[in-house]
């Protein structure tokens, strides 16, 4: 079977689609014929050789496809349409997935749409609920609202919690898309001071939760934007990782809870629990069309390098998909 690896750690030009060994099925896995996979920033780090925790040389952490071998797991039959997270090995014709992490694909969705769900929706769900403890009608600030996780988080916060959503993005096109997805307040971070806009939009109270993909360059404005007893979850450092001068007394005065998180390196057990809760909370909304996977562009798997360059150019709204 064929799969995508990086010849050497480096740029997108290192990606090649080449003959690889069949994946090895352990007792806890099912075997999947991959029909679509999706690009994540962790794939780029992996391609660059900057991640130590992925053992599979084939890149990619999520797939949608058809069960080839249910491997005695009674929940699944050969031919079932499934989607979910894998421990590497997604950019390939076949992949193995822990059975307790596989989700059945809602009937209304294509494989390309299904492949746009697992990583961003599970990350958004984990961040909003398991780490951010978002409650009904609270206000949440979602940075990078047009990104994969951003588009999922806007929808989840509205549909599951009727939260007030304030979101930032860098173009009018992205902002109007966020508004269509349900964002209540949209801020163009290139033209507006987002802390001042948040202050205005919340009557000076600040937001109860921040989803922060940006990190260092937003630190000060995020602190200004957070409410007393606010939760602040850092899930990316697109604006740099090193903050100069953090004042701990500031964190004490506002009683801020700051959490750093990554989904990919978490345990199999954690991912299984998260998957189960996510399915229970969201399946009916996907079936009703109230939650939608957001697909930006679909590339053939042979064009994985172009797909990576597209993400690196930061122009996508929603997910970049590879069709296998």
Closest CA to 115 of 35, 23, 235: 35
User: Within 189-228, which residues bind its own copies (CB under 8 A)?
Assistant: 215-216
Q: Minimum distance between the CB of residue 130 and its own copies, rounded to whole angstroms? A: 11
User: Within 106-135, which residues bind its own copies (CB under 8 A)?
Assistant: 131
Q: Quick one: tokens of 132?
A: 């951010």
Residue from the set 137, 171, 192, 241 that interacts with its own copies by CB under 8 A: 241
Q: Minimum distance between the CB of residue 258 and its own copies, rounded to whole angstroms? A: 5
Q: 154 phi and psi, to 5 degrees?
A: -60, -50
Q: Minimum distance between the CB of residue 255 and its own copies, rounded to whole angstroms? A: 5
Per DSSP, the residues of 61-81 read SEEEEEEEE-TT-TT--TT-E
Give the nearer residue to its own copies in terms of CB position, either 4 or 226. 226
Q: Minimum distance between the CB of residue 231 and its own copies, rounded to whole angstroms? A: 9
Q: Minimum distance between the CB of residue 41 and its own copies, rounded to whole angstroms? A: 12
Q: Minimum distance between the CB of residue 260 and its own copies, rounded to whole angstroms? A: 3
Three-state secondary structure call for residue 260: strand
273 binds its own copies (CB under 8 A): no
The owner of tokens 């494989």 is 111
- The binding track of 131-170 with respect to its own copies, each residue x by CB under 8 A or -, is x---------------------------------------
- Measure the CA–CA gap between 131 and 113, rounded to whole angstroms: 26
262 binds its own copies (CB under 8 A): yes
68 binds its own copies (CB under 8 A): no
230 binds its own copies (CB under 8 A): no
Distance of CA 207 to the CA centre of its chain: 22
- The binding track of 242-261 with respect to its own copies, each residue x by CB under 8 A or -, is xxxxxxxxxxxxxxxxxxxx
The owner of tokens 């496809």 is 65
Run of H or E residues at 110: none
235 binds its own copies (CB under 8 A): yes
The bridge status of strand 207-212 relative to strand 139-142 is: parallel
Q: 134 phi and psi, to 5 degrees?
A: -65, 130
Give the nearer residue to its own copies in terms of CB position, either 68 or 216. 216
Q: Quick one: tokens of 48?
A: 């660059």
The bridge status of strand 185-188 relative to strand 62-69 is: unpaired
Give the nearer residue to its own copies in terms of CB position, either 14 or 259. 259
Run of H or E residues at 264: none
Q: Minimum distance between the CB of residue 133 and its own copies, rounded to whole angstroms? A: 11
Q: Are 25 and 71 in contact (CB under 8 A)?
A: yes
Residues contributing to the site for its own copies (CB under 8 A) = 131, 215-216, 234-235, 237, 241-262, 265-266
């Amino acid at each position: 079977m064929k799969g995508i690896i990086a010849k050497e750690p480096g740029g997108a030009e290192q990606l090649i689609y080449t003959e690889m060994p069949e994946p090895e099925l352990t007792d806890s896995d099912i075997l999947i014929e991959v029909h679509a996979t999706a690009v994540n920033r962790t794939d780029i780090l992996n391609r660059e050789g900057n991640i130590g925790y992925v053992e599979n040389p084939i890149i990619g952490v999520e797939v949608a496809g058809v069960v080839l071998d249910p491997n005695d797991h009674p929940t699944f039959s050969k031919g079932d349409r499934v989607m979910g997270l894998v421990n590497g090995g997604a950019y390939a014709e076949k992949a193995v997935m822990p059975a307790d992490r596989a989700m059945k694909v809602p009937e209304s969705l294509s494989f390309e749409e299904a492949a746009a769900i697992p990583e961003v929706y599970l990350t958004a769900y984990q961040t909003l609920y398991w780490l951010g403890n978002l409650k009904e009608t609270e206000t949440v600030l979602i940075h990078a609202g047009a990104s994969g996780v951003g588009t999922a988080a806007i929808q989840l916060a509205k549909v599951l919690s009727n939260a007030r959503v304030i979101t930032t993005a860098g173009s009018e096109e992205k902002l109007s898309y966020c508004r269509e997805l349900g964002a209540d307040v949209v801020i163009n971070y290139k033209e507006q001071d987002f802390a001042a806009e948040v202050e205005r939009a919340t009557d000076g109270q600040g937001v109860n939760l921040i989803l922060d993909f940006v990190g260092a360059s937003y630190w000060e404005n995020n602190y200004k934007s957070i409410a007393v007893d606010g939760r602040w979850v850092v899930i990316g450092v697109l604006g740099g990782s090193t903050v100069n001068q953090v004042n701990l007394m500031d964190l004490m005065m506002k009683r801020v809870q700051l959490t750093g998180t990554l989904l990919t390196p978490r345990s199999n057990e954690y991912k299984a629990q998260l998957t189960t809760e996510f399915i229970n909370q969201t399946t009916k909304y996907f079936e009703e069309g109230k939650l939608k996977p957001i697909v930006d562009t679909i590339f053939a798997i042979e064009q994985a390098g172009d797909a990576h360059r597209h993400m690196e150019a930061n122009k996508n709204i929603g997910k970049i998909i590879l069709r296998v």
